[in-house]
Amino acid sequence: MPDTVKFELVSPERLLFSADVESVVVPGTEGDFGVLPGHARLISTVRPGVISVFQGGKVTDRIFVEGGFAEVTGAGCTVLAEHALPVAEIQRDQALQAIQDAREDVEDAKDDETRKEAMKTLEVAEARLQAVDVVVY
Amino acid sequence: MPSLKDLKVRINSVKNTQKITSAMKMVSAAKLRRAQGQAEAARPYAERMERVLASVASTVQRRESAPALLAGTGKDQVHLIVVMTSDRGLCGAFNSSIVRQARRLARELRRDGKTLKILCVGRKGRDQLRREFANEIIGTIEGVGKPRLNYDEADKIAQRIRHMFDRGEFDICTIIYNKFKSAITQIVTTQQLIPFAPAGAANEDADPELASYEYEPEEDAILADLLPRNIGMQIYRALLENAASEQGARMSAMDSATRNAGEMINRMSITYNRTRQAYITKELIEIISGAEAL
């Protein structure tokens, strides 16, 4: 059994990240899950959150995704996400502003449909702020 | 017989046109390369999406509780046709071939007594369809892919379609676009978007690997998340194909326009030279006969 997993992060526009890594932690809808070599075949949806890539026992890359889904096979893990951004590139004040905007949108929403949309945006915005604020160990 | 000056003016104007067409050809060659690159970059996502979708869909279809985006509404009364064309002309038969296909499909549906709705992406398609289907066109989306086509634009169109479907405004959605084969060949493609037919659905039973996944959350929830995303992806892909096709069509149209202009210039230069010689000969004869008369 190989001792690395092939991790790929794909957006519709291009292949964002592709490398053989030690392990990777993906924020699944029903909880985070770590992928090590030989993981069972799994398809899961992904909630807005941070994907952590582990190399040599340390987190080497932290990438924020706005949701999507993940496919895990014995050989690797592929995450398909429409929008992804390295955590280091998130601007804290911009994230705060986005939350405020989203909150206002939720309040201003006139019907259920737009409110649901706005709630989703708010959720993403809050997850983005959390991604910046969480301490990495 | 046109005067020498007239001929000169015409030659110059054709020369100017030729300069424009050859410049346009080079511009679209560069844009084509970029569009092809983008289409190439979108492939990994599309492939994986397709594979996952095929495997999830195969398990759900067996249980016959498939969501409406996959199974349809059970009716086929109201049809939505999304016609994808370009905003600009001068690209050969690119737009008219799409419109021709759209018109044929629309007439067929109309004859069968179905209700028809048309959503135009791109100005050229609307302009050409407006005459016959003015009441059926429910909207036009313009300026797609400027300056650069990105996924958000495609998703916005997809969102609009999804909202309409959620409100029960149509039963079946079809998109018409040009599939890029080469710079000279584009294939008009009609693809059914809703209900969606996974590409690998026919032979999934032959592939036992597909069904061996664990799902988290269960299949239905994943599918409910996946299908809307897939619509966005399908539209993005169609737009990419269309963008590449448009540039390809424009390139070959401008290539032949440049060639035609060159031929025209040659022909007119010959006429110009002949006329000039005729004038000289005429003047010589006049001088000689004048001298002889003395």
- pLDDT tens digits for range A100-117: 888 888 888 888 878 888
Query: Does a structural domain hold residue B14?
Result: no
Q: What is the distance between the alpha carbons of residues B241 and B249, in angstroms, rounded to a whole number?
A: 12
Query: How close does chain B come to A78, measured CA to CA in Å?
Result: 8
Contacts of A129 (CB under 8 A, 6+ apart): A92, A95, A96, A99
pLDDT band at B20 (very low <50, low <70, confident <90, very high): very high
pLDDT of the residue at B206: 43
pLDDT of the residue at B266: 96
Q: Please state whether the peptide bond connecting residue B228 to the residue before it is cis, i.e. omega within 30 degrees of 0.
A: no
Q: What is the mean pLDDT of residues B96-109?
A: 93
Asked if pLDDT for residue B24 goes beyond 90, the answer is yes
Q: How many CB atoms lie within 10 A of CB A84?
A: 18
Query: Does a structural domain hold residue B277?
Result: no
Residue A74 is classified by DSSP as: T
Q: Is A44 on the interface with B (CB under 8 A)?
A: yes
- Report CB contact under 8 Å: B48, A68: no
Nearest to A10 among B48, B214, B232 (CB): B48
Looking up residue B26, the CATH number of its domain turns out to be 3.40.1380.10
pLDDT band at B62 (very low <50, low <70, confident <90, very high): low
Task: Tell me which chain A residues have a C-beta less than 8 angstroms from the C-beta of B38.
Answer: 13
Q: Is A14 on the interface with B (CB under 8 A)?
A: yes
Q: Is A112 on the interface with B (CB under 8 A)?
A: no
Q: Is A110 on the interface with B (CB under 8 A)?
A: no
pLDDT of the residue at A136: 56
Asked if pLDDT for residue B81 goes beyond 80, the answer is yes
Identify the three-state secondary structure at position A10: strand
- pLDDT tens digits for range A60-70: 888 999 888 89
Query: How close does chain A come to B94, measured CA to CA in Å?
Result: 25
Q: What is the distance between the alpha carbons of residues A42 and A24, in angstroms, rounded to a whole number?
A: 14
pLDDT band at B207 (very low <50, low <70, confident <90, very high): low
Q: Domain tally for chain B?
A: 1
Q: What is the distance between the alpha carbons of residues B266 and B269, in angstroms, rounded to a whole number?
A: 5
Query: Does a structural domain hold residue B260?
Result: no
pLDDT of the residue at A73: 85
**Residue B80, token pair as written in the block:** 């939505």
**Residue B279, token pair as written in the block:** 């004038």
Q: What is the distance between the alpha carbons of residues A103 and A96, in angstroms, rounded to a whole number?
A: 11
- Report CB contact under 8 Å: B222, A15: no
Query: Does a structural domain hold residue B198?
Result: yes
Q: Is A40 on the interface with B (CB under 8 A)?
A: yes
Task: Tell me which chain A residues have a C-beta less than 8 angstroms from the C-beta of B54.
Answer: none
Query: How close does chain A come to B56, measured CA to CA in Å?
Result: 9
Q: Is the dihedral of CA A92, A93, A98, A101 positive or negative?
A: positive
Q: What is the distance between the alpha carbons of residues A65 and B241, in angstroms, rounded to a whole number?
A: 27
Nearest to B48 among A29, A44, A71 (CB): A71
For an interface test with A, the pick among B36, B40, B43, B45 (most A C-beta atoms closer than 10 Å) comes out as B45
Q: Is A15 on the interface with B (CB under 8 A)?
A: yes
Asked if pLDDT for residue B263 goes beyond 90, the answer is yes
Asked if pLDDT for residue B208 goes beyond 60, the answer is no
Q: ipTM score of the complex? A: 0.81
- Report CB contact under 8 Å: A15, B150: no
- pLDDT tens digits for range A25-59: 999 988 899 999 888 888 899 999 899 999 888 88
Q: What is the mean pLDDT of residues B90-119?
A: 92
Task: Provide the b/e sequence for B133-167 (b: ≥16 CB within 10 Å).
Answer: beebbeebbeebbeeebebebbbebbeebbebbee
* CATH superfamily for domain A5-87: F0F1 ATP synthase delta/epsilon subunit, N-terminal (2.60.15.10)
Q: How many CB atoms lie within 10 A of CB B289?
A: 9
Q: Name which residue leads in pLDDT, B235 or B209.
A: B235
pLDDT of the residue at B217: 82
Asked if pLDDT for residue B201 goes beyond 60, the answer is no
Asked if pLDDT for residue B165 goes beyond 60, the answer is yes
Task: Tell me which chain B residues have a C-beta less than 8 angstroms from the C-beta of A80.
Answer: 45, 48-49, 52
Determine contact, residues B269/B14, Cβ cutoff 8 Å.
no
**Dihedral angle computed from the Cα positions of residues B142, B147, B150 and B154, in that order, rounded to the nearest 10 degrees:** 0
Asked if pLDDT for residue B209 goes beyond 70, the answer is no
Task: Tell me which chain A residues have a C-beta less than 8 angstroms from the C-beta of B49.
Answer: 80
Task: Tell me which chain B residues have a C-beta less than 8 angstroms from the C-beta of A124.
Answer: none
Task: Tell me which chain A residues have a C-beta less than 8 angstroms from the C-beta of B221.
Answer: 29, 45
pLDDT band at B239 (very low <50, low <70, confident <90, very high): very high
Closest residue on chain A to B154 (Cα): A12
DSSP one-letter string for B117-158: EEEEESHHHHHHHHHHHTTTEEEEE--TTSSS--HHHHHHHH
Residue the block writes with tokens 């999804």: B162
- Report CB contact under 8 Å: B151, A41: no
B71 lies in which domain range? 21-253
- The helix-helix angle for B94-111 and B123-133 (nearest 10°) equals 30
Query: Does a structural domain hold residue B185?
Result: yes
Q: How many CB atoms lie within 10 A of CB A74?
A: 12
Residue A53 backbone dihedrals phi, psi, to 5 degrees: -105, 125
pLDDT of the residue at B205: 47
Task: Tell me which chain B residues have a C-beta less than 8 angstroms from the C-beta of A15.
Answer: 41, 44
Determine contact, residues B56/B222, Cβ cutoff 8 Å.
yes
Task: Provide the b/e sequence for B272-281 (b: ≥16 CB within 10 Å).
Answer: beebeeeeee
What are all long-range contacts of B146-154, with beta carbons under 8 Å and residues at least 24 apart? B149/B35, B149/B38, B149/B239, B149/B240, B149/B243, B150/A13, B151/A11, B151/A12, B151/A13, B151/A82, B151/B232, B151/B236, B153/B239, B154/A12, B154/B232, B154/B233, B154/B235, B154/B236, B154/B239
- pLDDT tens digits for range B210-238: 557 888 888 788 888 888 888 989 999 99
Asked if pLDDT for residue B94 goes beyond 80, the answer is yes
Query: How close does chain B come to A58, measured CA to CA in Å?
Result: 27
- Report CB contact under 8 Å: B229, A28: no
Q: Which residues pair with A54 in a beta bridge?
A: A23, A59
Pairs across A and B, CB distance < 8 A: 76
Catalytic residues of B: 91
Q: What is the mean pLDDT of residues B280-287?
A: 95
Rounded CA Rg of chain B: 28
pLDDT band at B105 (very low <50, low <70, confident <90, very high): very high
- Report CB contact under 8 Å: A12, B236: yes
